[in-house]
Structure 1
Amino acid sequence: MLKRVFMAPDPGRTRLRFAARAVLGISVAVVVCGLAGHTLTGAVTGGLAALLALFTVTDATVRAQALTTALLPAVGLPVLAVAAVLHDHPVARDLVFLAVVGLGVYARRWGPRGHSLGVFAFMTYFVAQFLHTRTHQLPELYASVVLSVLAAATVRFGIWCYERRLPPAVVPAPPGGTGLARVTTRQAIQATAGAGFALVVGQLVSGQRWYWAVGATWWVFVNTTSRGETLVRGFRRVLGTVIGIGIALFVAVPAHGDGPLTALVVALSVFGIFYTAAVSYTWMMLWVTVLAAMLYGLLGVLTPGLLALRLVETGVGALGAALAVAFVLPVTTHSVTDAWIQRALRCVHACTAETAARLAGKADADPTPLVAELEQLLARVRLSVAPLVHPLHPALGRKRRARRVLDLLDDCAREIRGLVAVAADPEASHDDRLAAACRRVEVAVEALTEGRDIAVHTAPAATEPALAHLHGLERALAELAAPLRARSGSPLVGA
């Protein structure tokens, strides 16, 4: 696990810059709140608002990111007011919390912006429970949220806007559908049901910290689609919490709210959250747990017993999510994985066709955005297939086939990248053999997506780089046919 986190590829040092900018942005936000004379509660609220503004906004362009960031307070401030007003009305408070959960998940149907605003709304309500927010605190907390989001935006879009030098991020939309066939609709119902279980059981465990269980259920559902993905994420959340509590016992408890040490560990935790989020949910949760422990230390309430309670409440939340995805409108791993694989294969064909056009001399042909989209789709395939390759998965045959599919899709991506690199050479030229190979790739993709066999093309070894990459792509696609079917006419991830 250590190797996976610290040796994982970081092209352009994007994760490193993402994490370093987060530390800077949140630090500026907290300093601004301090200079404005805000209390510790205001500074904590502002710091968390800045963290969310830097972490959750993932629109494809810088302009879209700026607009989403500007909309965050418009969603968060009314939610904060409702949470404060309902603080002394438990039944209404709990019902509204569940409504925020459901609407926050449902908002994902509107893409990255809906997702960001949904997360911000949920976390604003959550933070109000965390800090026991009352109505008389609202003016200060409103100012903290607005100032912190502005500070984070200044760092992200002004001081350190490295995205302007990168291609726009491609965020694939979740599988579509209408009504209950839409994944986001099903997930909204599942999340609400799971959060309801977590809320009731969490309050039986602790009348003070019950919201931890609801928070655990919510975050298990973030960036997952199928039943299998959600179960694996719940397991990783509990594992990361266990490890994080172990570290907090040796760091946060002895620190006991010491200012300089707390600031150092909080900065390290923020860096860890942002640096590891893309490669390991377990490690991200480790750092989230350490961060939460340090904040409780600042508030003067941290004890080993509180950390043990956090673990129990996290387990309750993960169990709520597991029960919901298992019994409430389940979304099978099969249906979701099949959809992502088909989209990835179609993108392979689109990359090939666009590259062929580039080699043929078409001036406006540019396969680079399609390659970026392919990388994002393959990341979604890996996430979807994760339950099948998990060490605890009992079906060894399906596990082997799933790993073979991932390996062959990676081979396809590697050949595509090589082909695009060749096409970027101004001296590269097109010939009839390239056109024929591109046509065979198209036929192979059509056969794979329709469940038909692929005729394997035999040809002498190619000396031209572009043709060699196309032949390698053909071989990988032909070899995909077998593992994509568990049995004749049945998909890999079926039943």
Structure 2
Amino acid sequence: MLKRVFVAPDPGRIRLRFASRAVIGIGLAVALCGFVGHSLEAAITGGLAALLALFTVTDPTVRGQAVTTALLPAAGLPVLALAAALHDAPAARDLSFLAVMGAGVYARRWGPRGHALGVFAFMMFFAAQFLHTVPAQLPELYTAVALSLGAASTVRFGLWCYERRLPVPAPPAPPEIGGRLRVTTRQAVQATLGGAFALGLGQVLSDHRWYWAVGATWWVFVNTTSRGETLVRGFRRVLGTVIGIVSGFAVAIPLDGAAVPTAVVVAIGVFGIFYTAAVSYSWMMFFVTVMAGMLYGALGVLDAALLWLRVAETAVGALGAVLAVLVVLPVTTHAVTDAWIQRALRCVHACTADAADRLAGSPLADPAPRVAELEVLLGRVRLSLAPLVHPLNPLRARKARARRVLALLDDCAREVRGLALVAADPDASHDARLTAACLRVEAAVEILTSPRPGTVPAAPAPAHRTPAAHPALAHLHDLERALAELVSPLSHAPYAASANA
């Protein structure tokens, strides 16, 4: 399973660049904190700030990323001060933690910037609980955060700004589902109530480590929309934590906080978190758990009982998230999946239109950004369909249809990528048949995304034989066939355009 994660496709080596830059940026941040004489607690806080800046800031432009990074202290430092001030006031601390959690989820309605600021604020409160921060430590922690964000920014925007040469599409905003409340509002309510459940039960398990349960609830909600996605994410979080705990027994406990080996393992953990985040949530959580175990070892509080408590708190947090999405303002998997599929299909059409314009001689048309957007949207479709294709799903017919949809959408993406490559060739010429084929693709997409309830889409016009001499037409006709074959699984599946329950 791990081998499959590390050999997964990595177009443009984005994941490798992402992970390698993170190790350098976070390593530099922690090294600078040590150089100026900061305590271990301050170095950990600074390292976390650098990690979050490199991991969560995903604006579509480099300038936007720089602005969001600059705004992180404004969101996080007041929250850190609040958490420290409430260190000896448990009731106020708990209510404030839940308020920060709800506000952090609600902030996602403002796109990647709102998401990054919300995560940073929440994690500053979490870090204060992890390190038992008190007001007297705030000046040092503030300095560590500022120094670390500066180090991370130097690496990201100066030493290694690969986005300038290789643009990375921003994560798409959650789709809007029918109802009185927006998805982000529903999720804010769900996360707050799920967090309250996790906080209460977590404190029953431990007066000192309860915050792991709240953290687990929070991270289960990140990048999920429907109840099905949340169920799968909760399962994968617990699975990754358990595997990480087993490794903790083998690695973290024997090292017992030894400085150099701990630093090496933490660096490996950082690389693993960033490299696997896009392809496997379970393995990302494995690396998070191993890294957390190493940090506990460095703080001198690691033992077997603490590791098992970590598993129990994670399970409680996942349970809180699951109960919240099942009971409180639920968003169905079918409605969310339908919305993502429609967006992916419209993107297929946009890619095709841009490629056709480019082949027709338009110097302004460029399908490459649309192709990158399509890859991101397909990732969201896979995440949304994950509950239906999960091995534990007993509904075989739905599982088969979901797998068929994924396979055909992958076929569409492959043909669109091929078409974009042909269009990028300056020697490629326009053919009148391209216009007709693009019109048929547009008609097919309109049929597949039809909002009329109960309507079974008609198949697009049959594709003609493609001359081998014209690769663009070959890609378009194969794209038509894939769209035509999508009619059946989409019209018979509960997540088809007619299912908006």
TM bucket by the smaller chain?
A: over 0.9
C-alpha separation between the residues in 2 aligned to 1:38 and 1:194? 36
C-alpha separation between the residues in 1 aligned to 2:424 and 2:466? 23
Q: 1:329 aligns to what?
A: 329
Matches within 5 A, 1:75-86: 75-86=75-86
Q: Does 1:87 align with 2:87?
A: yes
Query: 1:458-494: per-residue Cα shift (whole Å, max 9, x none)?
Result: 4234321111111101100000000002269965977
Check 1:443–1:291 CA distance in 2 against 1; reply closer, same or farther (3 A cut): same
- Count of residues paired in the alignment: 495
Q: Does 1:246 align with 2:246?
A: yes
C-alpha separation between the residues in 1 aligned to 2:494 and 2:473? 32
SS in 1 for 2:293: helix
Q: 1:369 aligns to what?
A: 369
C-alpha separation between the residues in 2 aligned to 1:175 and 1:341? 11
C-alpha separation between the residues in 1 aligned to 2:66 and 2:16? 21
Query: 1:253-312: per-residue Cα shift (whole Å, max 9, x none)?
Result: 011111111111111111111111111100000010000000000111100000000000
Query: 1:200-226: per-residue Cα shift (whole Å, max 9, x none)?
Result: 000011111000000000000001111
Q: What is the aligned counterpart of 2:476 among 455, 470, 474?
A: 470
C-alpha separation between the residues in 1 aligned to 2:179 and 2:407? 35
C-alpha separation between the residues in 1 aligned to 2:18 and 2:208? 34
Letter in 2 for 1:472: D
Check 1:73–1:489 CA distance in 2 against 1; reply closer, same or farther (3 A cut): closer
C-alpha separation between the residues in 1 aligned to 2:210 and 2:180? 30
Could you tell me the percent identity over the aligned residues? 71
Task: Give the Å deviation of 1:100.
Answer: 0.4
Matches within 5 A, 1:203-214: 203-214=203-214
Check 1:476–1:179 CA distance in 2 against 1; reply closer, same or farther (3 A cut): closer
Task: Give the Å deviation of 1:2.
Answer: 2.1
Whether the 8 Å contact between 2:336 and 2:384 is mirrored in structure 1 is yes
Matches within 5 A, 1:242-321: 242-321=242-321
Check 1:223–1:376 CA distance in 2 against 1; reply closer, same or farther (3 A cut): same
Letter in 2 for 1:485: S
SS in 2 for 1:482: helix
C-alpha separation between the residues in 2 aligned to 1:217 and 1:399? 27
SS in 2 for 1:483: helix
Letter in 2 for 1:477: L
Matches within 5 A, 1:222-237: 222-237=222-237
Q: 2:117 aligns to what?
A: 117
SS in 1 for 2:492: strand
C-alpha separation between the residues in 2 aligned to 1:24 and 1:456? 53
Q: 1:14 aligns to what?
A: 14
C-alpha separation between the residues in 2 aligned to 1:455 and 1:133? 63
Matches within 5 A, 1:56-455: 56-176=56-176, 180-450=180-450, 451=455, 452-455=457-460
C-alpha separation between the residues in 2 aligned to 1:492 and 1:251? 52
Task: Give the Å deviation of 1:432.
Answer: 2.2
Whether the 8 Å contact between 1:398 and 1:493 is mirrored in structure 2 is no
Q: Does 1:482 align with 2:472?
A: no
Check 1:387–1:493 CA distance in 2 against 1; reply closer, same or farther (3 A cut): farther
Letter in 2 for 1:466: A
Query: 1:383-424: per-residue Cα shift (whole Å, max 9, x none)?
Result: 111111000111000000000000000111111111111111
C-alpha separation between the residues in 2 aligned to 1:454 and 1:488? 19
Check 1:180–1:193 CA distance in 2 against 1; reply closer, same or farther (3 A cut): farther
Whether the 8 Å contact between 2:177 and 2:336 is mirrored in structure 1 is no
Q: Which moves more between the two structures, 88-97 or 370-379?
A: 370-379
Check 1:487–1:32 CA distance in 2 against 1; reply closer, same or farther (3 A cut): closer
Q: After the TM superposition, which parts of structure 1 deviate over 4 Å for at least 4 consecutive aligned residues?
A: 177-180, 487-495
C-alpha separation between the residues in 2 aligned to 1:470 and 1:419? 7
Letter in 1 for 2:459: I
How much is the aligned-residue C-alpha RMSD, in angstroms? Answer: 1.6
Check 1:94–1:445 CA distance in 2 against 1; reply closer, same or farther (3 A cut): same
Check 1:490–1:297 CA distance in 2 against 1; reply closer, same or farther (3 A cut): closer
Q: Which moves more between the two structures, 176-185 or 164-173?
A: 176-185
Task: Give the Å deviation of 1:455.
Answer: 3.7
Q: 2:464 aligns to what?
A: 459
What's the TM-score, normalizing by structure 1?
0.97
